[in-house]
Structure formats: structure tokens, C-alpha cells
């Protein structure tokens, strides 16, 4: 089967062989209420309240939302507004830790005997997509009646440079991943479960392959080591040959895609009652003294991760949440670990400062490498000319902002930034067009 395009990004998996080490509990954690797509969670604690590990501190703020639990024991210091990585302000619960890590006393296995109970368990666990998108997992699994799901695709590609936290989950918690996959397969009645893993992770392929033996409809597929192999739409096409239509969800193509670490977290919750309260995180980059994988409570300021890894060997010019292809630059090391944080990277000036762009030479590299078969150079041109109708024709909404276009551009054009701004321009245009149509219809109706 022909596979979608991408780029041969260097992997630089320096920490793949390093099992995750738990860092000391920080003196304070900062837990934002916006760590997922959708409505922010709503705090159910107040300043002065004692908290324990696993305790609910915020309830879901709507259907597309997720509850939040404490990963530490201590006392709520305050509920405050903080600057989020998006550049917006949001509410956060700030907890002073006591170092005791006392666990909530009512913790225990969660019975699951039906689809409804599974979805309720997923919701109660606070689980969101841990591959980066942060979509509430309970919403993803709430498939509409009549929609047939043929595949559960488990993303173990981990194709971004540097990041190895999913690799460690596949090596260290493979049984949990398979247990989570079996739960979803059983209660959503999905005939095929496929683990998609890049072929440069042979130990992961071997381990999960052994665990899949004898399990009905469950297998591992070795995929070429090509970025963005782990992109949802790319993974679906490269394993099943199906395409997700523009504006639609994977379920519309008969697929559910889940990150391998998400499934491990699900099975851990059902087995023990412990919700999503901590993360395995890769700490790496040219400015980091001793790269490694660490385990830290959600809300830990990332400066403590860097300190645990020996600090900086040179002043960092840029710090990222996530990988260098799709990661988000953060203002400083005071920002906290989020539910979706799989890596924090710090780069020196040589690696962290972007080169100045030059004029497009119409080489077509951006077109060649785009996995969605878009024309980034034409989208950039339409954006500069402020022609949203052309952006609509060029299907900019299909862009997943993977960065392949910018990576392959010899002129170093800021194409990902243009794609983000183009989609915002198109949304404004479509909203205005819809309002105009509604006004026209209302006027005709009143004649």
C-alpha cells in the first residue's frame, strides 16, 4: 500500500535506553484548569483545603472537558490566574506539598462491565489524549449510535526527534497498554486492534508482539521511521488505507486512535483507582547537562525537571513543551508539567534561534513533503493576499501543523505559523459568511 509523505527528521533518541526515574516531590505544584481541548475544569477546592494524592480538585467544565486530580499531598495555597503556554491567562490551583504523598483513602479498583461504565471510568480518571492533542478521552470513546468502528489504532510511533517517553511506556508498562486496549476493544466491540510502531523501535515491536500473541484481532504493525508517522490521519491512512474527510473525525473513517501511554493510564485507573496524576517526561536538548526520562506529578514547574537532570550546561535560548517539530515554546522554566507534556527540551543558541527566512524559490519541497498533499506555497500566497476563499479551496483546514513544509523549506519560510494564521482567517471568513446567510434567510422569511 502506498503511504503518505513526510520527512526523514533526525531522531536523536538519546534517552531511549534510560528507564524513567522519579524526581523528588517539588515544594509547590501549579495545576492549570486548562490542560485539554474544550471547557476548562472547575475547581472544587479552595485555599486552605488539605489534599491527598488522587483527590479530585476540579470537575469537568462541560461535555468536552475533563476532571483534574492532585498528584501530591499537601494544602491548597491559593487559586490564581496564571499565564498559560497559549499566551492566554487561565485559572490554576496552587498546592503547597508536604512530601508525605498520602494517598486518598477511598482509592480502589473500578468495576467496568459495560461500554457505559468504561466511558464513565475514562471520564472519572481525568484521561485526555497523551500524544499531544489533549482531547478528552471519554468524548473520543463516546461513539454515536450507528457508527461502526472497525479499528482501534494504538499510536506507538513517537516520531518526533528527542522524545522517548512513549518508548519507555511500551518497554516498562507494555502489559498495562495491552490491558487498556483489551478494555476498549471488548466494550466498544472493535474487531481489529493494531499497534503502529516505527521500525526503529524493534524492542517495543518485539515486546508488544509477544503480548498480542493469541489475542483475537490484536497485532503489531511495523511502520517506516518517517515523520509524522504518529499523526492521527497519517497513522489511519498508513495502516488502513482510509482517509479522514475534511472537518470529520477518525470515527467517521471507522477508526479510533489512542496513544499507547493513554491506554496504560486507563488500565492503571481501572486496576487501582489512581487517576491521571503524573507523567513520564523526556528531558533533553543541547542545553541540558544530563538528558533522561523522569516521572513527575502534573503541575511540577519544569525547572525542577531540569535541576534533576543536572541543570543547564549553557543558558537556554529556547525551551519547548514537546518536540522540535510540533512543540510549543514557553517563556521560562517556571511553567508546569501538563497532562499532555511528554517532553521538555532546552536548546542553546545554535539550535534554538531560528534562521532568517528568505524569498520563496518555488522549489516545491513543501508540496513534496506534505503528508496531507496540500500546497503550502499557494496557501501562503493566498494568506498574504488576504483571500480566505482561496484558503478554503486549498483545503487549509486539513493541515495538521506537523511542520514538514517548514522543515523541508530551503528558504526557511515560517510556513507553520502561516498555516495557523490561515486557518484562523478561514474560520473568521466562514463565520461571517454563515451569519450573512442567516440574515438573508431571515430577511426573506419576513417579507
> In this structure, are 255 and 387 located in the same domain?
no
Across the range 419-423, mean pLDDT stands at: 96
Tell me the per-residue pLDDT of 93-102, one tens digit each, with 9 for 90 and over.
999 999 999 9
Is 20 inside any structural domain?
no
What global pTM score does this model have?
A: 0.94
Residue with cell 461513539: 143
Nearest alpha carbon to residue 187 among 273, 266, 108: 266
Q: Report whether pLDDT(139) > 90.
A: yes
Question: In the prediction, which pLDDT does 441 show?
Answer: 86
Structural domain span for residue 409: 365-439
Is 31 inside any structural domain?
no
Boundary (domain end) residue, out of 272, 303, 323: 272
> In this structure, are 140 and 259 located in the same domain?
yes
> In this structure, are 259 and 136 located in the same domain?
yes
Question: In the prediction, which pLDDT does 132 show?
Answer: 65
3-state SS, 244-268, equals CCCCCCHHHHCEEEEEHHHHHHHHH
Across the range 300-313, mean pLDDT stands at: 98
Boundary (domain end) residue, out of 272, 301, 329: 272
Residue 336 DSSP code: B
Is 205 inside any structural domain?
yes
Tell me the per-residue pLDDT of 385-396, one tens digit each, with 9 for 90 and over.
999 999 999 999
Is 446 inside any structural domain?
no
Report the alpha-carbon distance of residue 17 to residue 286 in Å, rounded: 18
Give the number of residues written for the chain.
447
Is 373 inside any structural domain?
yes
Tell me the per-residue pLDDT of 119-130, one tens digit each, with 9 for 90 and over.
999 999 999 988
Burial label, 247 (beta-carbon count in 10 A; 0-12, 13-18, 19+): exposed
Tell me the per-residue pLDDT of 233-258, one tens digit each, with 9 for 90 and over.
999 999 999 999 888 899 999 999 99
Q: Report whether pLDDT(107) > 70.
A: yes
Q: What is the number of structural domains in the chain?
A: 2
Q: Report whether pLDDT(1) > 70.
A: no
Is 170 inside any structural domain?
yes
Boundary (domain end) residue, out of 272, 295, 325: 272
Quick one: pLDDT band at residue 420, thresholds 50, 70, 90? very high
We report the CATH number of the domain holding residue 263 as 3.40.50.11540
> In this structure, are 264 and 119 located in the same domain?
yes
Is 258 inside any structural domain?
yes
Is 28 inside any structural domain?
no
> In this structure, are 262 and 370 located in the same domain?
no
> In this structure, are 267 and 119 located in the same domain?
yes
Amino acid at each position: 500500500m502506498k503511504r503518505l509523505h513526510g520527512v526523514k527528521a533526525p531522531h536523536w533518541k538519546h534517552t531511549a535506553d534510560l528507564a524513567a526515574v522519579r524526581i523528588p516531590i517539588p515544594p509547590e505544584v501549579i495545576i492549570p484548569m486548562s490542560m485539554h481541548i474544550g471547557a476548562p475544569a472547575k475547581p472544587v477546592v479552595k485555599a486552605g483545603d488539605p489534599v491527598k494524592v488522587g483527590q479530585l480538585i476540579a470537575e469537568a467544565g462541560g461535555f468536552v472537558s475533563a476532571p483534574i486530580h492532585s498528584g501530591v499531598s499537601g494544602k491548597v495555597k491559593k487559586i490564581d490566574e496564571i499565564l498559560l503556554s497559549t499566551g492566554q491567562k487561565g485559572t490554576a490551583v496552587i498546592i503547597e506539598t508536604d512530601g508525605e504523598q498520602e494517598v486518598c483513602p477511598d482509592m480502589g479498583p473500578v468495576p467496568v462491565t459495560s461500554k457505559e461504565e468504561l466511558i464513565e471510568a475514562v471520564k472519572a480518571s481525568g484521561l485526555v489524549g497523551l500524544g499531544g492533542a489533549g482531547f478528552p478521552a471519554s468524548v473520543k470513546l463516546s461513539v454515536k449510535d450507528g457508527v461502526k468502528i472497525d479499528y482501534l489504532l494504538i499510536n506507538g510511533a513517537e516520531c518526533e526527534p528527542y522524545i522517548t517517553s512513549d518508548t519507555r511506556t511500551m518497554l516498562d508498562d507494555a502489559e498495562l497498554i495491552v490491558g487498556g486496549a483489551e478494555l476498549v476493544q471488548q466494550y466498544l466491540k472493535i474487531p481489529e486492534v493494531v499497534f503502529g510502531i516505527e521500525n526503529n523501535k524493534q524492542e517495543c515491536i518485539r515486546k508488544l508482539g509477544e503480548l498480542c500473541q493469541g489475542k483475537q484481532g490484536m497485532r503489531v504493525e511495523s511502520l517506516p521511521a518517517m515523520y509524522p508517522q504518529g499523526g492521527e490521519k497519517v497513522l489511519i491512512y498508513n495502516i488502513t488505507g482510509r482517509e479522514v474527510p475534511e472537518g470529520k473525525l477518525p470515527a467517521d473513517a471507522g477508526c479510533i486512535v489512542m496513544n499507547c501511554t493513554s491506554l496504560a493510564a486507563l488500565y492503571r485507573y481501572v486496576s487501582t483507582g489512581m487517576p491521571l496524576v503524573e507523567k513520564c517526561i523526556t528531558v533533553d536538548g543541547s542545553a541540558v547537562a544530563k538528558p533522561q526520562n523522569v516521572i513527575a506529578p502534573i503541575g511540577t514547574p519544569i525547572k525542577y525537571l531540569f535541576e534533576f537532570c543536572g541543570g543547564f550546561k549553557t543558558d537556554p535560548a529556547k525551551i519547548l513543551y514537546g518536540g522540535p517539530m510540533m512543540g510549543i515554546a514557553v517563556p521560562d522554566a517556571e511553567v508546569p508539567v501538563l497532562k499532555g507534556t511528554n517532553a521538555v527540551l532546552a536548546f542553546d543558541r545554535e539550535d534554538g534561534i531560528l534562521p532568517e527566512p528568505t524569498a520563496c524559490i518555488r522549489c516545491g519541497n513543501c508540496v513534496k513533503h506534505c503528508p496531507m498533499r496540500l500546497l503550502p506555497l499557494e496557501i501562503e500566497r493566498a494568506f498574504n493576499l488576504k483571500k480566505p476563499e482561496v484558503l478554503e479551496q486549498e483545503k487549509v483546514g486539513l493541515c495538521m501543523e506537523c511542520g514538514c513544509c517548514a522543515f523541508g523549506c530551503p528558504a526557511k519560510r515560517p510556513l507553520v505559523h502561516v498555516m495557523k494564521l490561515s486557518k484562523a482567517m478561514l474560520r473568521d471568513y466562514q463565520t461571517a459568511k454563515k451569519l450573512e446567510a442567516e440574515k438573508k434567510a431571515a430577511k426573506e422569511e419576513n417579507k
